[in-house]
Structure 1
Amino acid sequence: MRLSTVMFGWLAMSTVYAIGCAPAAVARPAAAAPTSGEPQMAVPEAPAPRGPDGAITAAERDEAIEALARELTAKYVFPAKGTEVAKAIRARRKRGEYDKITTGHALATTLTNHINEVLRDAHFHVRFSKETLPPRPAEGKPSAEELARFEEFSRHANGGFEKVERLPGNIGYLEVRGFAFPGRGFEAATAAMAFLSETDALIIDLRRNGGGSPEMVAYLCSYLFDERVHLNDLYFRPGDETRQFWTAPVPGKPYVDREVYVLTSKRTGSAAEEFAYNLKNLKRATIVGEVTWGGANPGDMVRLGDHFAAFVPTGRAISPITKTNWEGVGVQPDIPVPADDALRVVQVKLLEQQIAKAKDPGLKAELEERLRELQPK
């Protein structure tokens, strides 16, 4: 995927992206397109419009509709659905259903809703930009300006790593707001896991994490195993190939033989869902919180003219364990609780365990005091 696509997805909507910043195997012999497990989710709501609205001409409207039909036919991960939805929107246009739409946001929202009546794909959406969208270079590489903007955003986001601390009872806590920044994110993960290496248990908070890259997911997952583990595959229709993601050696000590908890919410999306899904199926973490967003189909932003673009899912995740993914259903928590309560619930559970094991009276008294502080007022 293009780096500029990652930027758009990070700023505009949660998505999974493969941007080639870490090794990933390409497995062609087993890369046939899936024949089952297509999305079964309810019709997703179109995302709220972003930026100023603007008037559009009939020619701009028709250009965007036709370009979208072509892109879905050529690239959508499930070919039959791509063809079906392209036929449907062309028929709607022929019947004049879009003729009265004269503003960009209205057309983008209408197309998103109409198309997702068929696709039911959490990632798919159409966007309008009042400013003229830059043309994509033929080679698909980001410009120097785009790279500079991405680097600036990555630095301000600290590679997606928001907070790392040692909670009472020697419990490690790591909040990751995004997996979109391999490179700087690798550095932040390495520093965080070094700080947490001597804690007795670890809480990874993904409640505000909308996604990012599978390379970043694999890097952080690698700290939680001391052997090579197959985490996930991503099948992409355009190249008819499957990329495999495995754990790999990372700097510092692996975080093993200790409990790991992952906190989730309805906002936990895309690559963050993959992280939770991987660890849940590998029985390496306990998931606590809410059912996640439900988007498992990575893809690319495509230009539909001077003022419209669409995120077209071109691939799908395939777990080596379940042989499917979380599209449309989300990741189900092992301990379902409201997202706002998830951290407290895990802290209470871990402190109770430590109190039961504590032999030193002073330590036991301190842990009991911390536990009382966590009880609802």
Structure 2
Amino acid sequence: MIRSARLLPALLIAASVVALPLVATPPALAADEESADQIAEKYAALLERDYVYPETGKRYAAAIRAGIAAGRYTPLTGEALGEAIDRDVNAVAPDGHLRLRAPEGAAAPGTPAPVRRPPRVPIEQPEWIAPGIAFIRFNVFPDDPAVTAAAAKFMADHADAKAIIFDLRTNGGGGLDQMDVIFPWLFAEPTRLVTMATRASVDAGGGSPIDGIASLRLVKGDVGMVAREHWATPNADARLRDAKIYVLTSGGTASAAEHFSLAMKHTRRGTLVGAPTAGANHFGRGDDLGGGYSAFIPVGRTYDPTTGKDWEGDGVQPDIAVPPAEALVRVLTDLGVAADEAKRLSDAHMPSRPMERRGPAPAR
């Protein structure tokens, strides 16, 4: 779900372009270097060792090893191998972030290459959408200081807003960097946002993707987990403390964008408008499996510190449920914009990327 400057993004549910794949290896060369069974076994070992829930990790590993023993993976290469292993893993317990990534261009002969969307533009349409109402769309929360600086500038430039609309309907995830320059403007006192818990064995081995982030505070967690709370610390400028905050959500709102959404909902600082989010909760890191293959291993989860519940499979529920394409109209009219003008503005600020969940919703 989350990343920082060191945190690989949990964006695999949304075909991340922030977590760049490893250098492409031609399928034939990959087969020479690493057999299908070797790749599968590496994946099984990583899941058994590092997956956020140890017992589930063992079950994942057992399913993959059963596939190896049955010879299901031996004749496969490229995308076909990744899909076969993913099917076996998801049959055990679906996870919104689990996916084995094949080398670029590794489709089987005669198989159409997968359609790859162009890279996400991190920020779109940061502007005054109407008098006193600021608007910004984040398509991703990347590990990019320039994007973080742009987010900080947006907040400073619109510090006199009576309302800010954060459009996360097409945000596939990322990390905390942009959030940590936004949230200090919105709170009047230090505020606990969410809790993030990493498997203790991963943390102890120096593999926690969230260790060392300044906005996270180490707290006592469940047995076998290391817990850190994400806090918002107010800045010195009080102009936005009472501004209305709206977050537009959809099935395309995934991972770190769900973290942002839950933070606003849990603290009651923002109003979520749209559809339930994607339900991709677990954060983690990328691992090389050899032969150009890689995998994202979820090593932790983010949850509501009051209820202890996360959003895996279910998504974060909106406060005002409307079709995502109508969310901006609803917010603008609630803010007093005339209906015909709200529709015109919504059409002019409609995301170009899909606002639907990619693939079936994971079962709990």
**TM value normalised by structure 2:** 0.74
Distance 1:320 1:248 in 2: 17
Partner of 1:124: 98
Partner of 1:162: 124
Note the alpha carbon deviations across 1:154-207, whole angstroms, 9 max, x for none.
9x95xx332211122421112122212353333212210122111221111111
Residue 214 in 1 paired to residue 216 in 2?
no
Distance 1:262 1:127 in 2: 31
Q: 1:333 to 1:219 in 2, by over 3 A?
A: same
Name the amino acid aligned to 2:270.
A
Distance 2:164 2:235 in 1: 18
**How far is 1:261 from its partner?**
0.8
Distance 2:4 2:235 in 1: 26
Partner of 2:323: 338
Partner of 2:8: 6
Q: Conserved in 2, the CA contact under 8 Å of 1:226 and 1:254? A: no
Q: 1:250 to 1:11 in 2, by over 3 A?
A: farther
Partner of 1:195: 157
Residue among 100, 106, 118 paired with 2:80: 106
SS of the residue aligned with 2:93?
Answer: coil
Q: 1:98 to 1:196 in 2, by over 3 A?
A: same
| Structure 2 unaligned spans of 5+ | 107-118, 204-224, 348-364
Aligned sequence identity (%)? 32
Q: 1:212 to 1:285 in 2, by over 3 A?
A: same
**How far is 1:335 from its partner?**
1.4
Residue 115 in 1 paired to residue 89 in 2?
yes
Q: Conserved in 1, the CA contact under 8 Å of 2:9 and 2:174? A: no
Residue 95 in 1 paired to residue 70 in 2?
yes
Residue among 184, 189, 199 paired with 1:227: 189
Range moving further from structure 2, 205-214 or 317-326: 317-326
Name the amino acid aligned to 2:282.
N
Q: How does 1:236-255 map to 2 (within 5 A)?
A: 236-237=198-199, 238-239=202-203, 240-250=225-235, 252-255=237-240
Residue 286 in 1 paired to residue 271 in 2?
yes
Distance 1:298 1:375 in 2: 32
Note the alpha carbon deviations across 1:242-300, whole angstroms, 9 max, x for none.
22211124474451212111001111110111101111111111111111111110011
Distance 1:285 1:81 in 2: 35
Distance 1:350 1:218 in 2: 26
- What CA RMSD, in Å, does the superposition of the two structures yield over aligned residues? 3.3
Residue 259 in 1 paired to residue 244 in 2?
yes
**How far is 1:233 from its partner?**
1.9
Q: 1:4 to 1:302 in 2, by over 3 A?
A: same
Q: How does 1:252-331 map to 2 (within 5 A)?
A: 252-331=237-316
Residue 54 in 1 paired to residue 27 in 2?
yes
Residue among 133, 140, 146 paired with 1:178: 140
Name the amino acid aligned to 1:163.
Q
Please identify the structure whose Cα radius of gyration is greater: 1
Residue among 28, 38, 52 paired with 1:63: 38
**How far is 1:321 from its partner?**
2.2
Distance 1:15 1:122 in 2: 16
**How far is 1:2 from its partner?**
8.8
Name the amino acid aligned to 1:61.
A
Distance 1:216 1:116 in 2: 32
SS of the residue aligned with 1:178?
Answer: coil
Distance 1:209 1:350 in 2: 24
SS of the residue aligned with 2:164?
Answer: strand
Note the alpha carbon deviations across 1:331-358, whole angstroms, 9 max, x for none.
1111111211111121112116xxxxxx
Q: How does 1:12-91 map to 2 (within 5 A)?
A: 13-14=15-16, 54-55=27-28, 57=31, 60-91=35-66
Distance 1:131 1:189 in 2: 35
SS of the residue aligned with 2:254?
Answer: coil
Number of paired residues? 305
Name the amino acid aligned to 2:95.
D
Distance 2:285 2:346 in 1: 46
Q: Conserved in 1, the CA contact under 8 Å of 2:198 and 2:301? A: yes
Name the amino acid aligned to 1:211.
G
Q: 1:298 to 1:211 in 2, by over 3 A?
A: same
Note the alpha carbon deviations across 1:79-104, whole angstroms, 9 max, x for none.
00000111111112112222332x21
Q: 1:308 to 1:5 in 2, by over 3 A?
A: farther
Q: Conserved in 2, the CA contact under 8 Å of 1:5 and 1:301? A: no
**TM value normalised by structure 1:** 0.72
